[in-house]
């Protein structure tokens, strides 16, 4: 008699970091993060019958605005340990305000095949139609799914699955705030099943930051009729700078000398402040154009938008990357270069 092979129950670890999904009224005015990760799970209908074993870790209880780079590095390390110990996937619940940055940093530091999924809520648990339970259930289903392996960090919200590399918070109050303007979602959660329509083509593995390294990476969006005084002052405090240029990467001509001087001293990355689309490299030739700025040593961000570019530059500097590695990293992450040119092998966890 042939025996039926047993399929192991997937095990998902949920790390709670706070955010609106965990906010209720406390002693003061307004809502603040008070609920534990266990409280969030207890509010999800249908979880008991989903056939998924769940563990919870109360990691932080903060608004998204007060999470730090160090929190995310510690989270990446803790998530990697859980996955190495046999978890099928990890879910992170946190404030939506910073998900587009934290999820991309997690993506850079996540080198394993298992899904690492970030979610949150736009309507807190005290409101009619709170979206936290549905988002958490969908995120857990994605984290448990073999279909979501090898995609890096994913953001699951309103039953859509987004790559952390492309997703942005596009609306301050709407429940459909998370959008990948350049690519669209990579898939959906439908009737509890994960359906990916496309796959994330290539990713970067960044070594963890050197302990105790503090780097200041500035973000400077250019504006109409800008003069260099604020940029000059900011440059004095930066180890690296991301410039959000107009359109395909243009700045007002009066900023060109300051940017040239800065690019001789620190890495300066040229991104676009426009919500979608890449920077170009060759088309325009006027002073302050992308072509002019690249000949002056600025690094093109390609399809990587300013907040993501700042995370990548800060992670690279914190890992003490060489200038040539920084340029290569941006050409790969920004979609302008070949992934095979990336020099760093996937590091092992200490
Ligand atoms: N929807 C949210 O989660 C916003 C919230 N203020 C946060 O902690 O980021």
Q: How many residues does the chain have?
A: 350
CA of 101 to the centre of ligand 1 (A): 13
Please check the confidence at residue 305 and state whether its pLDDT lies above 70: yes
Tens digit of pLDDT for each residue in 16-43?
999 999 999 977 899 999 999 999 999 9
The DSSP symbol for 151 reads S
Please check the confidence at residue 202 and state whether its pLDDT lies above 80: no
User: Does ligand 1 lie within 6 Å of residue 19's CB atom?
Assistant: yes
Q: Rounded mean pLDDT of the chain?
A: 93
Tens digit of pLDDT for each residue in 247-300?
999 999 999 999 999 999 999 999 999 999 999 999 999 999 999 999 999 999
User: Does ligand 1 lie within 6 Å of residue 20's CB atom?
Assistant: yes
Mapping DSSP onto H, E and C, the string for 90-115 reads EEEECCHHHHHHHHHHHHHHCCCCCC
pLDDT, residue 347, reads 41
Contact yes or no for 10/144 (Cβ under 8 A): yes
ipTM of the complex, rounded to two decimals: 0.97
Q: Mention every residue, 6+ apart, whose C-beta is less than 8 A from residue 272.
A: 244, 245, 246, 247, 248, 249, 278, 279, 301, 305, 306
pLDDT, residue 5, reads 63
Please check the confidence at residue 58 and state whether its pLDDT lies above 90: yes
pLDDT, residue 135, reads 98
Reported confidence tier of residue 341, pLDDT bands at 50, 70, 90? low
User: Does ligand 1 lie within 6 Å of residue 95's CB atom?
Assistant: yes
Please check the confidence at residue 338 and state whether its pLDDT lies above 80: no
Q: Domains, the chain, ranges and CATH?
A: 11-196 (3.40.50.1170), 217-341 (3.40.50.40)
Least confident of 4-13, 45-54, 137-146, 268-277: 4-13
- Residue owning the nearest CA to atom 9 of ligand 1: 95
User: Does ligand 1 lie within 6 Å of residue 100's CB atom?
Assistant: no
Active site residue 20: yes
pLDDT, residue 274, reads 98
**Counting atoms of ligand 1 from 1, which one is nearest the CA of 33?**
8
Candidates 19, 32, 103: which one to mutate for ligand 1, based on the most atoms within 8 Å of Cβ? 19
Please check the confidence at residue 115 and state whether its pLDDT lies above 50: yes
Contact yes or no for 22/93 (Cβ under 8 A): yes
Of these residues, 4, 6, 20, 213, which one is catalytic? 20
Please check the confidence at residue 1 and state whether its pLDDT lies above 60: no
CA of 103 to the centre of ligand 1 (A): 14
User: Does ligand 1 lie within 6 Å of residue 102's CB atom?
Assistant: no
Q: Distance between CA atoms of 331 and 309, rounded to whole angstroms?
A: 11
């Amino acid at each position: 008699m042939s025996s039926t092979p047993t399929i192991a129950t997937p095990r998902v670890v949920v790390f709670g970091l706070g955010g609106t999904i965990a906010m209720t009224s406390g002693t003061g005015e307004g809502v603040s993060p008070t609920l534990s990760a266990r409280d969030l799970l207890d509010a999800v209908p249908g979880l008991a019958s989903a056939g998924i074993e769940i563990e919870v870790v109360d990691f932080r209880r903060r608004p998204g605005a007060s999470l730090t780079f160090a929190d995310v590095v510690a989270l990446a390390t803790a998530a990697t340990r859980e996955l190495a110990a046999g978890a099928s996937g990890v879910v992170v619940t946190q404030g939506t305000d910073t998900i587009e940055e934290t999820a991309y940093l997690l993506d850079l530091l996540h080198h394993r095949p298992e899904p690492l999924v970030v979610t949150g809520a736009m309507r807190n648990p005290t409101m009619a139609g709170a979206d936290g339970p549905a988002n958490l259930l969908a995120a857990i289903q994605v984290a448990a799914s073999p279909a979501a392996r090898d995609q890096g960090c994913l953001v699951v919200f309103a039953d859509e699955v987004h790559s952390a590399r492309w997703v942005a918070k596009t609306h301050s109050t709407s429940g459909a705030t998370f959008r990948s303007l350049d690519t669209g979602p990579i898939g959906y959660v439908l009737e509890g099943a994960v359906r990916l329509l496309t796959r994330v083509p290539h990713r970067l593995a960044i070594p963890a930051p050197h302990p105790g390294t503090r780097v200041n990476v500035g973000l400077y969006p250019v504006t109409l009729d800008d003069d260099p005084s604020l940029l000059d002052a900011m440059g004095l405090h930066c180890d690296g700078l991301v410039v959000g240029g107009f359109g395909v990467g243009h700045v007002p001509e009066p900023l060109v000398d300051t940017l040239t001087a800065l690019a001789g001293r620190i890495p300066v990355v040229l991104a676009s402040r426009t919500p979608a689309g890449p920077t170009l490299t060759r088309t325009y030739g006027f002073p302050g154009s992308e072509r002019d700025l690249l000949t002056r040593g600025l690094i093109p961000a390609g399809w990587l938008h300013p907040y993501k570019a700042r995370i990548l530059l800060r992670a690279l500097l914190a890992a003490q990357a060489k200038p040539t590695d920084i340029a290569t990293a941006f050409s790969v992450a920004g979609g302008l270069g070949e992934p095979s040119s990336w020099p760093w092998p996937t590091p092992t966890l200490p």
